[in-house]
Structure 1
Amino acid sequence: MKSLLSLLAAGLLLAGPTLAQQPVQAIIRTMKDPATKQVVVVAHRADWRSEPENSIPGIESAIKMGVDMVEIDLKKSKDGVLILMHDETLNRTTTGKGKPSDYTWAELQQLTLKNEHGGPTRLRIPTFEQCMLAAKGRVMVNVDKGYDYYQEAYDVLEKTGTVDHAVIKSYETYATVKAAHGNLLNSKLLYMPIIGLEKPGAEASIREYEQQLKPVAYELNFASDTALTHSIYQTIPKTGSKIWFNSLWASQNAGHDDERSVEENQPADGWGWLLAHGATIIQTDRPAELLAYLRARQLHK
């Protein structure tokens, strides 16, 4: 009997953490809890300051920091493999040239990723499946530039058991998304509309989503303070959705960005301003610094 119990215990260890023990489950609860004061931190292209962007080591580094979500981008190889890649071409981030879709997966594996300074590394381009296996049970993933591969991305999430780990997003109206992917909108896969507040139809799009879907969050972009303060975005939390602001670069947040917060040492007018205007999710290129800022204010564990 003792040996049997020992074998069972060993099997449980090999199987990894139970659902209740997985850190990602607490993050998912925070994402779905409109009452929590905890702010969700998203690492843009993972930790690209320390590792190549859209790489597995970049994801690992962001997880070690304690971020809640990593943002990645999708492209597809010539033979249909979903890979992590931001640009339309391989030129900037890899040792290759041309479009990813011009190469088979095997051919892409002959290339290596570049670091932030453009120097070659020994790292290979990862697949979306590899990304989700690395994230599984540990961190959520924002699938950017993935709308064109919605069903294929969903299939990978199903295969890896990570459907509830992911947020997919697009600029499309509710009617467009419903017509194309309505069968997936009520699944565990979380959907988020991106709204450019200066664009015509922005308020109508928010209203339609509020009435028809109640997304997990809205990603709101604005180039001026007035574009935000004159919008109807304040109704969003009342429907149970979160507000996602980007602190990446000034054109997305009217200058209340990472650089103001870190380089100019004015976090009150950077991240603090975004928080004061309703941010409950912030995507950043400075995840370590943002985490420290939020933790000092008891807005992140």
Structure 2
Amino acid sequence: MKRDLLTSVILLVVTAFGALAQSPAEKLDAVVKGRSKGILVAAHRGDWRNAPENSLQALKNCIEKKFDLMELDVKMSKDSQMVIMHDNTIDRTTNGKGKVGDYTLEELSRFRLKNGLGRLTPHPIPTLREMMLAAKGRILINVDKGNDHLDLVFKVLKETATTDQAIVNVGDNMLYGKLTAENTLPRDAYLMVVVNMKNNNVDEIISSYAVHHKTIIQPIFDTDTLSSLKLLKVNKQKSLLWLNSLWPSLNGGHDDDRAVEMGQKEESWGWLIGFNPVILQTDRPVELTGYLKKRKLHP
């Protein structure tokens, strides 16, 4: 009996150590292939309530708080460098003004980011390279807004050896054939296409990605009465789903504020979970992670 007990304890320790040692790429792969039950949590623009959005500090916060994934946005500078910025201009989030593409990387480095209250911080505008190196082996990254410069995005991922821990948005409502005709994409990369569920060819778009085994579909819908939502439930192509709980126009009213401020977690997050997503993107990562863990739906 004592030996059996000792063996059980050793197995538990080994299992726990293995879970702790799991890399971000392994974690994503395990969830995608069904080896690990659960839904991953993506922090929208990082932990932006406690650090400037799209900043290195936001990334560090996400890592420290053990979020599964950070979503960030990229833009191209005047000298063709990929920097982290959501808007086309730097007006809202920095102490500068003008379009990102009107400045070189050196010029952009002189500006400082503002926090969520619009107050200036000491944090500079980071590059995609800096963010991926800081995230390497520590957290998954979703690269958004880079679909006009996919060659540069994948160049950075390849050079930093982080392709396997990144999900790259490739465009909106785009057929896979058109995407590959216009871009040379790594076969082993996770790609994500945003699909407006009001489009007439929703089924065609989703079906076209069945040939790429690492495609994630991100459906967008401002009402929950669309007949096309049945496609997500049926999911004949077994497409991987990424759903947003950010604001009502992305999820038919099943959003973060409804979950947290109105206390309607089941009506918001619970409703979204009914579609069996692989990833939920949120502006309330702490609360959503806690909710999923309570329901034993977080890996």
Q: Do both share a fold (TM > 0.5)?
A: yes
8 Å contact kept, 2:76–2:100: yes
Query: Which residue does the alignment assign to 1:11?
Result: none
Query: Which residue does the alignment assign to 2:3?
Result: none
8 Å contact kept, 2:47–2:58: yes
8 Å contact kept, 2:25–2:164: no
Secondary structure of the structure 2 residue equivalent to 1:62:
helix
Count of residue correspondences: 279
Q: How does 1:19-34 map to 2 (within 5 A)?
A: 21=21, 23-34=23-34
Secondary structure of the structure 2 residue equivalent to 1:46:
coil
8 Å contact kept, 1:34–1:240: no
Distance (whole Å) between structure 2 residues aligned to residue 77 and residue 207 of structure 1: 35
8 Å contact kept, 1:243–1:279: yes
Deviations 1:78-111 (A, max 9, x none): 1111100000100000111000111111111110
Query: Which residue does the alignment assign to 1:157?
Result: 157
Distance (whole Å) between structure 2 residues aligned to residue 104 and residue 270 of structure 1: 43
Q: CA deviation at 1:37?
A: 2.4
Change in Cα spacing, 1:243 to 1:175, as seen in structure 2 (3 Å) is: same
8 Å contact kept, 1:112–1:120: yes
Deviations 1:52-77 (A, max 9, x none): 00001101111222211110000011
Distance (whole Å) between structure 2 residues aligned to residue 243 and residue 110 of structure 1: 39
Query: Which residue does the alignment assign to 2:175?
Result: 173
Query: Which residue does the alignment assign to 1:127?
Result: 127
* Structure 1 counterpart of 2:255, one-letter code: D
Q: CA deviation at 1:165?
A: 1.0
8 Å contact kept, 2:167–2:192: yes
Distance (whole Å) between structure 2 residues aligned to residue 299 and residue 219 of structure 1: 20
Deviations 1:240-289 (A, max 9, x none): 43211100000010110000110111101010110123223100000011
Q: CA deviation at 1:226?
A: 1.7
Query: Which residue does the alignment assign to 1:139?
Result: 139
Change in Cα spacing, 1:209 to 1:235, as seen in structure 2 (3 Å) is: farther
* Structure 2 counterpart of 1:32, one-letter code: V
Q: TM-score, length-normalised on structure 2?
A: 0.88
RMSD of the alignment, in Å? Answer: 1.9
Q: TM-score, length-normalised on structure 1?
A: 0.88
Query: Which residue does the alignment assign to 1:184?
Result: 185
Query: Which residue does the alignment assign to 2:8?
Result: none
Give aligned-pair identity as a percent: 38
8 Å contact kept, 2:209–2:215: no
Distance (whole Å) between structure 1 residues aligned to residue 132 and residue 197 of structure 2: 32
Distance (whole Å) between structure 2 residues aligned to residue 102 and residue 31 of structure 1: 41
8 Å contact kept, 2:135–2:141: yes
Distance (whole Å) between structure 2 residues aligned to residue 30 and residue 42 of structure 1: 16
Change in Cα spacing, 1:85 to 1:230, as seen in structure 2 (3 Å) is: closer
8 Å contact kept, 1:30–1:38: no
Query: Which residue does the alignment assign to 2:257?
Result: 259
Query: Which residue does the alignment assign to 2:293?
Result: 295
Query: Which residue does the alignment assign to 2:84?
Result: 84
Distance (whole Å) between structure 2 residues aligned to residue 29 and residue 174 of structure 1: 22
Change in Cα spacing, 1:31 to 1:150, as seen in structure 2 (3 Å) is: farther
More strand, by proportion: 2
Greater shift, 168-177 or 75-84, is seen at 168-177
Q: Which runs of 5+ in 1 are unaligned?
A: 1-19
Q: CA deviation at 1:47?
A: 0.5
8 Å contact kept, 1:261–1:269: yes
8 Å contact kept, 1:31–1:216: no
8 Å contact kept, 1:34–1:242: no
Q: How does 1:241-252 map to 2 (within 5 A)?
A: 241-252=239-250
Q: How does 1:54-69 map to 2 (within 5 A)?
A: 54-69=54-69
1:216 aligns with 2:215: yes
Query: Which residue does the alignment assign to 1:10?
Result: none
Secondary structure of the structure 1 residue equivalent to 2:29:
helix
* Structure 1 counterpart of 2:128, one-letter code: F
Change in Cα spacing, 1:228 to 1:273, as seen in structure 2 (3 Å) is: farther
